[in-house]
C-alpha cells in the first residue's frame, strides 16, 4: 500500500508539471489540453463516461474469461497429447507473431456489430498468453515430483489434477496478468472497428470532432480500468497461491 | 502391525544401459524383510539406478527385480520413496503433503490423519501441520518427506541420498531419527548414500559399489548393536568398517594419498 501511495504521488506531481507547462507555453488545447480541462470534461457528465466504461469492462471481462477457459483447456490438451503439441501448439506459437488486430474487421463481418466481435477480438489477443504460460507451467513440474507421483501409482488424470495443475498455477497467473491487459486492448480495438458504445467509440468519435479533452478523459478512464483489472488478478493470485515464492512477503517463515 | 509389514527384495543379474552407456552390470542382491541395507558408492556409479529399478521407475535392460516374489514392471504397491530434494508439494501444507499417498489411492483421509499426527509427533514436527514447505528449514522439510513416505504403512522404503543436501549437523540428527523410526516400524529399507559414515551407521549391511559401470564390490555385515548412538562412530569396530570401505575405494583408484 505504501508503494501505491508513492505511485499516486508521482502521478499527481506529473499532472502538476503538465498543467504548469501547458499554461506557461500556451499550448493549444486541441493539441494538448491541461489536466484541469480533462477533469472538467469528466466531471461534466460522469454517468455518460461510466456507461461507456461499463460496456468496455463487460466486453473485456468476456474476452478474458473466454481466453482463460479455452486457454487452460487447450494447454491441458497440448501437454497430454504429443500429436497436439507438434501440430496445434507449433501453430499457436507461430500465429502469436501475427498481428491479431489485423483480423478485427473480419470478426465484424462474421459476428455483426454487437458485443460478440469485440469479445472475440479480446479473446483472440489474450488467449495466446494463457496457452503459452499454462503449457510452460504444466511442463515445469520437477522430475522428482513426477517420480513421486509414479511411485504412488498415480494415474494420468490424478497426476494432472493433483500435481501438474497446482504446479502450473504460478505460471498461469503470470499469463493472466498479461492476458487481462491484452483483453482490454482487444475490446478497444473492437470498438474502434465498429461500435456505438464503449470507451473505444468515445475516443474515435471525439477524435472526429477534435475534442482532445474528451479523448484524454476516455484514456484516463481506460488507464484506471487497466490498473484496477491488473490489481484484481494480483489479488486473486494472492488468494489462490499463498504458498508460492512470489507471495513470500505475506507468509511468515519458521 | 499387519502380517505383511515388510517386503523382501530379490535382484537377479540386473543390467541397465542408457543408450550405449552401461550404468549397472550384473547386480545380484537379496534383501530380507525388515532389513536396512545401505548402498554406498561414488557419484554416478549406478546406485540410484538400482534403486529406481527396484522402484519400477526404470526398466532393467536385462535381469529381474522381484518384490515379495512379484516381478517389478511398474511401481509396486506399498512403496515409500524419499528423494534427495524433498519433493514436497509447495502448494500443500505439511498435513496435506502427508495425505498425498492416501489421496492418490482414494483412501480414508481420517485414518491417515491420525497416522500423520503420530509420525509428526515422532519427528518433532507438531505444531507445523498447517505450515507450507516454504516456511520450513531444509531438515524439517526432509523430515516431512520421510513422514510422507511412511504415512501409508509401506512395506518397502527406498531412499535416494535423502540427506545429501543437508548440513553435517542436521544430517547427524536425521540419521538418529531415521534409525529410531526404523526401529519402531521395521520396514525394509534401501538407503542410497555416498557417505561412508552414514552407510555404516544406519545399515545392517553395506553394499559397496564400483564406479561406472556399477557392480557390487563387496557386501559388509555391520554387527554393531542397536540402537546405535552417534558416539559409536568413534569406536574401534566402526573405524575398522570404515577403513575396510576406504580400502576398497583406494583399490578402485577413487582415493589416493599421494598427489
DSSP strand pairing (B70-71 vs B62-67): antiparallel
Instruction: Show the cell assigned to B102.
Output: 492416501
Domain boundaries, chain A: 48-240
For chain B, counts of helices (H) and of strands (E): 8, 10
Pick from B75, B91, B128: CB nearest A150: B75
Grid cell 483489472 — which residue? A229
Subunit contact A243:B132, Cβ cutoff 8 A: yes
- Per cent of chain B over pLDDT 70 is 98
Grid cell 469485440 — which residue? A118
Instruction: Show the cell assigned to B110.
Output: 481420517
Size of interface A-B (CB pairs under 8 A): 78
pLDDT for res A45: 94
Which is the CATH superfamily of the domain at A48-240? MetI-like (1.10.3720.10)
Q: Is the separation of the CB atoms in B136 and A254 below 8 Å? A: yes
B20 to chain A, closest Cα gap in Å: 23
Pick from B79, B104, B135: CB nearest A253: B135
Pick from B75, B91, B128: CB nearest A241: B91
Subunit contact A144:B85, Cβ cutoff 8 A: yes
B66 to chain A, closest Cα gap in Å: 16
DSSP strand pairing (B62-67 vs B9-18): antiparallel
Q: What is the DSSP letter of A162?
A: I
Q: What is the pLDDT of residues A88-147, one digit of tens each?
A: 988 888 888 888 888 889 999 999 989 999 999 999 999 999 999 999 999 999 999 999
Asked whether residue A166 carries a pLDDT value surpassing 90, the answer given is yes
Q: What is the pLDDT of residues A35-59, one digit of tens each?
A: 999 999 999 999 999 999 999 999 9
**Domains located in chain B, CATH noted:** 1-78+155-259 (3.40.50.300), 88-152 (no CATH)
Contacts 24+ apart (CB under 8 A), A25-32: A29/A212, A29/A213, A30/A210, A30/A212, A31/A212, A32/A212
Pick from B55, B84, B91: CB nearest A151: B55
Subunit contact A254:B135, Cβ cutoff 8 A: yes
Subunit contact B57:A162, Cβ cutoff 8 A: no
B180 to chain A, closest Cα gap in Å: 24
Instruction: Show the cell assigned to A239.
Output: 488468494
**Could you write out the DSSP letters of every residue in A46-87?**
HHHHHHHHHHHHHHHHHHHHHHHHHHHHHHHHHHH-HHHIII
CA distance B184 to A114: 71
Query: CA nearest B81: which of A190, A151, A32?
Result: A151
B202 to chain A, closest Cα gap in Å: 24
pLDDT for res B186: 92
Q: What is the DSSP letter of B79?
A: E
CA-nearest residue of chain A to B85?
A144
- Per cent of chain A over pLDDT 70 is 97
Which chain B residues contact residue A242 at CB under 8 A?
Answer: 132
CA distance A90 to A84: 9
Residue B43 C-beta-side C-alpha neighbours within 13 Å? 1
Asked whether residue A189 carries a pLDDT value surpassing 90, the answer given is yes
pLDDT for res A194: 84
Which chain A residues contact residue B74 at CB under 8 A?
Answer: 153
The ipTM, to two decimals, is 0.91
Which chain A residues contact residue B140 at CB under 8 A?
Answer: 254
Average pLDDT across chain B, whole number: 92
Asked whether residue A72 carries a pLDDT value surpassing 90, the answer given is yes
Instruction: Show the cell assigned to B47.
Output: 546406485
CA distance B242 to A169: 48
Instruction: Show the cell assigned to A30.
Output: 486541441
Grid cell 507438531 — which residue? B126
Q: Is the separation of the CB atoms in B63 and B54 below 8 Å? A: no
CA distance A111 to A115: 9
A147 to chain B, closest Cα gap in Å: 7
What is the pLDDT averaged over residues B159-179? 93
Subunit contact B134:A248, Cβ cutoff 8 A: yes
Subunit contact B90:A162, Cβ cutoff 8 A: no
pLDDT for res B4: 57
Which chain A residues contact residue B92 at CB under 8 A?
Answer: 243
Which chain A residues contact residue B192 at CB under 8 A?
Answer: none
Amino acid at each position: 500500500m505504501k508503494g501505491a501511495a508513492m505511485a499516486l504521488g508521482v502521478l499527481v506531481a506529473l499532472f502538476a508539471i503538465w498543467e504548469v507547462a501547458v499554461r506557461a507555453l500556451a499550448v493549444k488545447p486541441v493539441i494538448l489540453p491541461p489536466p484541469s480541462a480533462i477533469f472538467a470534461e469528466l466531471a461534466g457528465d460522469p454517468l455518460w463516461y461510466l456507461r461507456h466504461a461499463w460496456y468496455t469492462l463487460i466486453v473485456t471481462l468476456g474476452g478474458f474469461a473466454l481466453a482463460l477457459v479455452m486457454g487452460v483447456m487447450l494447454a491441458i490438451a497440448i501437454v497430454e497429447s504429443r500429436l497436439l503439441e507438434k501440430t496445434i501448439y507449433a501453430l499457436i506459437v507461430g500465429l502469436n507473431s501475427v498481428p491479431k488486430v489485423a483480423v478485427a474487421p473480419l470478426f465484424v463481418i462474421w459476428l455483426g456489430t454487437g458485443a460478440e466481435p469485440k469479445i472475440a477480438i479480446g479473446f483472440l489477443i489474450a488467449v495466446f498468453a494463457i496457452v503459452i504460460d499454462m503449457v510452460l507451467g504444466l511442463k515445469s513440474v520437477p522430475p522428482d515430483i513426477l517420480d513421486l507421483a509414479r511411485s504412488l501409482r498415480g494415474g494420468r488424470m490424478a497426476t494432472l489434477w493433483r500435481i501438474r495443475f497446482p504446479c502450473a498455477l504460478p505460471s498461469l497467473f503470470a499469463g493472466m496478468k498479461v492476458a487481462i491487459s491484452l483483453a482490454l486492448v482487444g475490446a478497444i480495438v473492437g470498438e474502434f472497428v465498429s461500435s456505438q458504445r464503449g470507451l473505444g467509440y468515445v475516443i474515435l468519435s471525439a477524435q472526429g470532432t477534435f475534442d482532445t479533452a474528451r479523448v484524454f478523459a476516455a484514456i484516463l478512464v481506460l488507464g484506471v480500468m487497466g490498473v484496477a483489472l491488473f490489481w484484481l488478478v494480483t489479488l486473486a493470485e494472492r488468494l489462490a497461491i499463498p504458498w508460492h515464492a512470489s507471495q513470500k512477503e505475506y507468509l511468515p517463515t519458521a | 502391525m499387519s502380517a505383511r509389514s515388510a517386503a523382501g527384495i530379490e535382484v537377479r543379474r540386473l543390467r541397465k544401459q542408457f543408450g550405449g552407456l552401461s550404468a549397472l552390470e550384473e547386480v545380484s542382491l537379496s534383501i530380507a524383510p525388515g532389513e536396512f541395507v545401505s548402498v554406498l558408492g561414488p557419484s554416478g556409479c549406478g546406485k540410484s539406478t538400482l534403486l529406481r529399478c527396484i522402484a519400477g521407475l526404470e526398466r532393467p535392460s536385462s535381469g529381474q527385480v522381484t518384490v515379495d516374489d512379484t516381478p517389478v514392471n511398474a511401481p509396486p504397491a506399498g512403496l515409500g520413496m524419499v528423494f534427495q530434494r524433498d519433493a514436497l508439494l509447495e502448494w500443500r501444507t505439511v498435513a496435506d503433503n502427508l495425505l498425498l499417498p492416501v489421496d492418490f489411492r482414494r483412501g480414508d483421509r481420517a485414518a491417515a490423519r491420525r497416522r500423520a499426527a503420530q509420525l509428526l509427533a515422532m519427528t518433532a514436527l507438531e505444531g507445523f501441520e498447517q505450515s507450507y514447505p516454504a516456511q520450513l528449514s531444509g531438515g524439517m522439510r526432509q523430515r516431512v518427506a520421510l513422514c510422507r513416505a511412511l504415512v501409508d504403512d509401506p512395506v518397502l522404503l527406498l531412499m535416494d541420498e535423502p540427506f545429501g543436501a543437508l548440513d553435517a549437523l542436521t544430517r547427524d540428527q536425521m540419521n538418529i531419527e531415521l534409525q529410531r523410526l526404523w526401529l519402531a516400524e521395521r520396514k525394509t529399507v534401501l538407503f542410497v548414500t555416498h557417505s561412508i559414515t552414514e552407510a555404516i551407521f544406519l545399515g545392517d549391511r553395506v553394499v559397496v559399489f564400483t564406479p561406472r559401470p556399477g557392480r557390487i564390490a563387496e557386501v559388509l555385515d555391520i554387527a554393531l548393536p542397536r540402537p546405535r548412538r552417534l558416539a559409536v562412530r568413534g569406536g574401534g569396530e566402526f573405524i575398522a568398517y570404515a577403513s575396510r570401505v576406504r580400502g576398497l575405494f583406494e583399490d578402485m583408484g577413487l582415493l589416493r594419498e599421494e598427489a
